[in-house]
Structure 1
Amino acid sequence: MAALLGPVITPEGPLTGQLAGDPFHPDTKHAAKALAQVVEALLRAVIGWLYRLALLWVMVDIVSFPHDDRPAALT
């Protein structure tokens, strides 16, 4: 389909197929860096929520633990 439309024109000139797939092209590096930042932000959010969930689980476990360990005959 891209061959039917012709080359993509950028401010630097036409973008050829070789340049479009170049991993060292500045636009490609910028996109990869942006994607890495999004993935890092998502991982930080997931890890943060897992940490909060673990803390909540521990707090509920502490509160629900029976504190009165005396035998029933002594009460």
Structure 2
Amino acid sequence: GQGMTPEEAVEKVGMVVEGFYTTKAVYEIAQEKIIDMPITNAIYQIITNQVEAKNASLDLMKREGKEEA
């Protein structure tokens, strides 16, 4: 939350930001294939300034548990 776009933040850091581009790619594949990936969704929303990290983590904790396949 410094008021920068994700791209501006990456440029300002001036070095590799691990997972930034991978998160976007995985998010897009999950959306395309209709795969529920709540952690990836939360991270994507954080890095694209759609939600604050605090709220994203609270939303994840509120999710109802379910059995994994």
TM-score of the alignment, normalized to the shorter chain, above 0.5: no
Q: Write 1 or 2 for the structure with the bigger share of strand.
A: 1
Larger Rg: 1
Bigger RCO of structures 1 and 2 (CA < 8 A, at least 6 apart): 2
More helix by percentage: 1
Task: State the TM-score bracket (shorter-chain normalisation).
Answer: under 0.3
Structure-2-length-normalised TM-score: 0.26
